[in-house]
Every structure is written in structure tokens, then in C-alpha cells.
Amino acid sequence: ASSTAPRVHHASLVLPSTHSPVLLKLVDSSLSLPFIDYIANFVADALDSASGLPAFPLGDNLNRRSSIVGLKFFIRMLFGASRVQTPVILAALAFIDKAKHRFDITILQELPLERTLLSAIVVASKALNDHTMNNMHWQRCSTIFRAKEISRFELEFLAALCWNLRLTDSDILVHYDAICTHYHETYADPSTPNR
């Protein structure tokens, strides 16, 4: 007689029963356009709080909207080419939140939103995955940054994190309301498969 082993969750490699159902719902969220909107606005807001000054001058909503539209395009391109999974995206958002008060990045630098997101995605991917892309692959996926720049961004981002890659459930769950409740229940297409 053979017994079947309990199935582990694909993102954590432990039994799903050890996780909060809310966390599982968030981790299993599909990458929808509203989710991309959330990511883009979250990154812009993080840069606003990074220096204590708005990343975009007050009243410069046109520049902010234009930059966020550019970031959304970058997100679709980067995530499509890299096939990044939702747990990596969530970890990247948590890392941005943890590092935002120690960022050494300003709106004056070229493509600060894209640079911040790419740095966080690269760090999260390498932290969560045993087999991950090297920076030459990230260069091909991003199309706008060279591997040498990506390596520098990664080191700067790790320094902003004080090299602390530990995440808790609560670091991830702060995104639940915005992603699952508002964006997915309001806008999600039920025919879209989970990633």
C-alpha cells in the first residue's frame, strides 16, 4: 500500500495549512492590470517618502502620471520577459517598504522608478529562488539597464536593506487590502490563470 505525501505550497515548500489563508490568497494572486497599477503607484509613493520630499513637485501631477505610465509599461515588459512570479513581486514590494527610508535615490537620477523596482525584483528573486537569473539575463529582460548598472543597483539596494533579507508574513500582508480586496475583487478577470 502506498501513501501519498501531503502537498506542499509551491511558493513556500511547506504545507498550506501552516499559512494564513489570507496570505495564500495574496501569494496566489494573478498579475492583472490593476495589480500592475498598484505596483507602479506603490513604487512612486515609496520614492516620495524616501527623501521626505515628493518625488514629483506638488502640482506636477502630469509628470507623475507620465512617469507612472512609463513604469507600468516597464513592469509589463520586465515581468513578461522574466516570468517573475507573484511571491517574488510581493517580496520586492516588502523590501522596497523596508528600504525606502534609506534609499540613496532621487528623482534626478535617470529612471528612478524603474531602477528602484528592478533592484527590488532582482534582490527578491535571488533571495527566494535557488536557481535565478544572473544580471546579464536581467539586462535582456529590462532592455534599458546594462548588467554592470544592475549589479550596482542591486548592491545599493542591499545596502539600503542593511543586507537583511528576512521577511515576515506581516511584511507581505500589508498589501492584502489593496491587492486582493480592492483590485482583484473589483477588477480581476476570473478567466485569468494564477501565475
Please report, for the chain, the start and end positions of each structural domain, with discontinuous segments joined by +: 19-178
The gap from C-alpha 30 to its chain's centroid, in whole angstroms, comes to: 13
pLDDT for res 146: 95
pLDDT for res 120: 97
The CB density around residue 187, as the number of other CB atoms within 10 Å, is 12
Identify the CA nearest to 36 among candidates 71, 85, 88: 71
- Residue 185 CA to residue 29 CA, distance in Å, equals 11
Long-range contacts formed by 159-168: CB under 8 A, 24+ apart: 159/102, 159/104, 160/99, 160/102, 160/103, 160/104, 161/95, 161/98, 161/99, 161/102, 161/123, 162/102, 164/98, 165/95, 165/123, 165/127, 167/91, 167/94, 167/95
pLDDT for res 183: 56
Low-confidence stretches of the chain (pLDDT < 50) are 1, 107-108, 185-195
**Does 19-178 carry CATH code 1.10.10.60?**
no
Residue 158 one-letter amino acid: L
Report CA-CA distances (Å) from 4 to 7, 9, 12, 63, 107. 9, 15, 19, 56, 54
pLDDT for res 132: 86
pLDDT for res 187: 43
* Each residue's pLDDT tens digit, 150-183: 999 999 999 999 999 999 888 988 888 888 765 5
pLDDT for res 32: 85
pLDDT for res 5: 62
pLDDT for res 131: 86
Long-range contacts formed by 132-135: CB under 8 A, 24+ apart: 133/82
Identify the CA nearest to 112 among candidates 62, 54, 158: 54
Q: How many CA atoms lie within 13 A of 41 on its CB side?
A: 11
